[in-house]
Amino acid sequence: MLPFEGATCSVCGEAIPHSYAFADDAGELRCTLCRRMGPPFARAAAYGSYDGGLRELIHLLKYDRVKPAANVLGRMLAEVIVELEPSIEQKNVVVVPVPLHARKLKQRGFNQAELIARAALKLVPGSTQMEFAPLLMERVRETASQIGLTSRQRRENLRGACVVRQPEKIARQEVLLVDDVMTTGTTASECARILKRAGAAEVWVATVARTMKVQRTFALQGKLAIEGPLALAAAKG
């Protein structure tokens, strides 16, 4: 599987069509939304598009509960973390997986974001010290599906769903928020918002995959789909 190609927003990671790909005053490439109103996190980065083989691999872990898939996904996440690392200013970063509600956790048996983060952290060489804090945030309210909601409805749906349990760990610290997939960015934004309100100095977001609102053919040129079966074999073996 290959990571993204083509222009992406330096803040949220969304693909930018060539015709819109011009840098702002600071020389950074930003999508229209981030130029208008920045998200509460400094930057979100992903390994690839939530599509083809990568999507299958994530489903293998989440729905078929093939746990070794987390190691393959962890390797990809490690690459994302290495890419984000130079932007992180502090020597220590607190790594927080996006939490699952207790009922979902019981049903699935594990939090996929936590497994992937654990696997990735073993592989990050680390000039930065990564403190893993899987219990820092808790999802206290179950939320309805985000599908079909407007962005305002999605934000309202998630408001108050997560709480920070150990604010002392993140006071004036930079936080790396980790998840398997970033879809609309609402979950990442809401988590970043409450982490910052609880005292975090900055929030970075690393996910294995993300959904592109912009046509994926532009970003990927079909490479993920071609390499899908290989990745699945690797996960199973």
Binding site for Zn ion (CB under 5 A): 9, 11-12, 14, 31, 34
Q: How far is the CB of 60 from Zn ion (least distance, A)?
A: 29
CB of 214 to Zn ion, least distance (A): 11
Task: Kindly give, in sequence order, each residue whose CB lies less than 8 Å from that of residue 72, ignoring residues fewer than 6 positions away.
Answer: 57, 231, 234, 235
115 versus 212: smaller Cβ distance to Zn ion:
212
Residue matched to tokens 């002392």: 168
Minimum distance between the CB of residue 205 and Zn ion, rounded to whole angstroms? 12
Provide, rounded to whole angstroms, the least separation between the CB of residue 184 and Zn ion. 12
In the bound state with Zn ion, the residue whose beta carbon lies nearer, of 103 and 213, is 213
Cβ proximity to Zn ion: between 1 and 9 the closer is: 9
What are the tokens at 121?
């952290």
Shortest Å, Cβ 3 to Zn ion: 18
Minimum CB distance to Zn ion smaller for 158 or for 188: 188
CB-wise, 24 or 89, nearer to Zn ion? Answer: 24
User: Is the separation of the CB atoms in 178 and 98 below 8 Å?
Assistant: yes
